Amino acid sequence: MSLKFFGLALLIPLFSTVSFISPTEARQRLIGAGASLPAMLYSRLFSDLRDSGGPKINYQAVGSGFAFKAIIDESVDFAASDYPISLISSNQIKRGLVQIPIVAGNIAIGYNKPNCNLSLTQEQLVQIAMGIIRDWREINCPQGSITWVHRSDASGSTKAFTRSMHSFSKTWTLGSAKTIQWPSGIGAKGTSGVAGRIKKTLGSIGYLSSAYINESIQTAAIENLSGEFIQPTIESGSIALQNLDIENKLAQVNPNPKEKGAYPISTLTWIWVYKSGYGEKLNNIKTALNFLLSKEANKKALTLGFIPLNKHLQDYAITSIKDIGI
């Protein structure tokens, strides 16, 4: 099945609920796909935008790996990912690329182990993920086998998580990528899939967006470079991102922040758009992006557990929208 056909097949259920779409509306409707980490937020915001008379947007949370293929194939109007595209990779996009940071999030270490108040050093977390630490008693919890839960699909969250693991310890030898050959554990598709697997599996632990944490999943405090054990909160994530740099308008740097109070595994989530070729959709794509970066959207992000951009990144993002042309 071709990527374009697959993308259209995903969208058929959404269109089937609409009794009639005018030709003009169909031409101007925006289609996006990609990261599952911000999907909860995007779903709410795109609904709010539609209800306020703005453009209609269909977004499919199919993972950051699909996002890259879709943006190259031009089967979407925009794509979303938890990592930026490198300069070399961006050259594959014929219509040019503009990468815009939208919001940030913590990658929490969620677990399901009663009577366990978990605090992990960076080395311990690396060894759990690599399958070196296999029993809960090795990390001061009641005895029992550890089940590592990871993403089974190509994921920007996996790339962000493994980038931090590489920075945490020389013990880490699995690389940093959207997909990893995990030596042990069970895979789940999407952030919601990981959350569901941890919830159902006693003795499990894995990585996922803190926005998907609820009362049925505990979160570990993770050691930062200052030697503090920090929970993933809005405040600790904001501290981690306060000195984040953007290199050459493409790359984010800070996989292990040194600031006191910083949660050590945080990431930006991006939207990729074309630099040209939107035609009559140009106004809609810019309207959508400006709304995602608005004060209203930032307030909604906070209520859902996401971290709004700091002023430096916000200004950078809004300025980047001006690079999008017809």
Q: How much of the chain, in percent, has pLDDT values that exceed 90? A: 81
Span 20-34, mean pLDDT?
Answer: 78
Whether 273 contacts 323, CB under 8 Å: no
* pLDDT value of position 27: 72
What is the band of 18 on the pLDDT scale with cuts at 50, 70, 90?
very low
**Phi, psi at residue 314, to the nearest 5°?**
-60, -45
Closest CA to 293 of 64, 84, 42, 31: 42
> Does 3-105+267-321 match 106-253 in CATH topology?
yes
pLDDT for residue 245 is more than 70: no
CA 73 to chain CA centroid, Å, is: 21
Nearby residues of 63 by Cβ (< 8 Å), 6 or more positions away: 34, 35, 36, 151, 153, 154, 155, 156, 189, 190
Domain positions in the chain are 3-105+267-321, 106-253
Residue 88: enclosing H or E segment and its boundaries?
A: helix 87-90
Cross-strand bridge partners of residue 101: 270
Cα–Cα distances in angstroms (integers) from residue 56 to residues 29, 30, 33, 42, 155, in the given order: 5, 6, 14, 12, 26
Span 190-213, mean pLDDT?
Answer: 96
Weakest mean pLDDT among 45-59, 152-166, 233-247 = 233-247
CATH of 3-105+267-321, one of 3.50.30.30, 3.40.190.10, 3.40.50.970, 1.20.1290.10: 3.40.190.10
Cα–Cα distances in angstroms (integers) from residue 102 to residues 46, 195, 251, 289, 320, in the given order: 13, 23, 14, 8, 11
To the nearest whole number, what is the mean pLDDT of the chain? 90
* pLDDT value of position 26: 65
Q: How much of the chain, in percent, has pLDDT values that exceed 70? A: 90
The structure tokens listed for 84 are 């930026």
Torsion, Cα 152 154 155 159, to 10 degrees, reads 100
DSSP code at position 146: -
**Could you report the per-residue pLDDT of 47-106, keeping only the tens digit for each?**
999 999 999 999 999 999 899 999 999 999 999 999 888 877 899 999 999 999 999 999
**Could you report the per-residue pLDDT of 272-297, keeping only the tens digit for each?**
999 999 999 999 999 999 999 999 99
pTM: 0.87
What's the rounded Cα separation, in Å, for the pair 297 and 96? Answer: 27
> For residue 141, which amino acid is it?
C
What's the rounded Cα separation, in Å, for the pair 298 and 89? Answer: 30
Across 244-314, the runs of DSSP E, i.e. the strands, are 245-247, 251-253, 266-274
CATH of 106-253, one of 3.40.190.10, 3.40.50.300, 3.90.650.10, 3.40.50.970: 3.40.190.10
SS3 annotation, 267-280: EEEEEEEECCCCHH
